[in-house]
Amino acid sequence: MCSFVQKDSQTETSRAFGALFVYIAIAIAGGAVFSEIAIKSHVPMYGVALIWLASFVVTFGVNFRRLKRIMSSVRIRMNNSISWPIGAKIVNGACWTTPFATIGLFPSLYQYLILIGIGSGNLSTYLLLKRLNGIKNMGQMIVGVISFVSIPVSIWFDTNLLVSNHDLAVFTSRILISLAYGVGGIYTLVKKS
């Protein structure tokens, strides 16, 4: 009985992460498209920042009731990482933060560093949850793998077109991040438990 309840709880938590990933994908895709339009229309940078903020607020605001239920399941999963040994916490934290922290040192590479951060963060969390808690969230692994695979695609857009098009590479990396979260979320939502 306890095993069934635990499996049902893990399934519910995985589905919550799947829905959260889909919401993140929608917000990123909306922000990427509308900010690109704004940039091409010479909207000031604060306007572009407001577009990104609005993209997340609208996406999550429209789904607020469902999001409240999702966040309680997400909190349960996050509590698993609190019990990890300090070494595992350091490794996981470094995988998430190091690429983002180096953006200040290499701002021209930020679109690749974001992909590295999302890839390494999701993969390390997946591997540590699997090893230390017996939780296998394939959606999170998919997000990490697609993020890593997206790096050469983004680099290709930045360097192999007839002219270097940094704006296209940035837009492409954002769409690829959205795709990674969308595929990971949809997989988690539709897979059989």
**Residue 146 and residue 181 in contact, taking contact as beta carbons nearer than 8 Å:** no
26 vs 75, residue with greater confidence:
26
pLDDT recorded at residue 158: 78
User: Which amino acid, one-letter code, is at 44?
Assistant: P
Tokens 């829905």 appear where? 19
CA distances from 57 to 53, 79, 175 (A): 6, 26, 19
- CA-wise closest residue to 92 among 140, 28, 142: 140
Q: Give pLDDT tens digits for 96-154.
A: 999 999 999 999 899 899 999 999 999 999 999 999 999 888 999 999 999 999 999 88
pLDDT recorded at residue 175: 95
Q: How confident is the model at residue 7 (pLDDT cuts 50, 70, 90)?
A: low
pTM (two decimals): 0.87
pLDDT recorded at residue 78: 80
Residue 4 has pLDDT above 80, yes or no: no
Q: Give pLDDT tens digits for 46-102.
A: 999 999 999 999 999 888 878 877 888 888 778 878 889 999 999 999 999 999 999
Alpha helices in the chain (DSSP H): 2-40, 45-62, 64-82, 86-101, 110-128, 138-159, 166-190
Q: How confident is the model at residue 3 (pLDDT cuts 50, 70, 90)?
A: very low
pLDDT recorded at residue 193: 60
pLDDT recorded at residue 187: 96
Q: Give pLDDT tens digits for 140-188.
A: 999 999 999 999 988 887 777 655 566 777 888 999 999 999 999 999 9
Longest dimension (CA), the chain: 63
pLDDT recorded at residue 161: 62
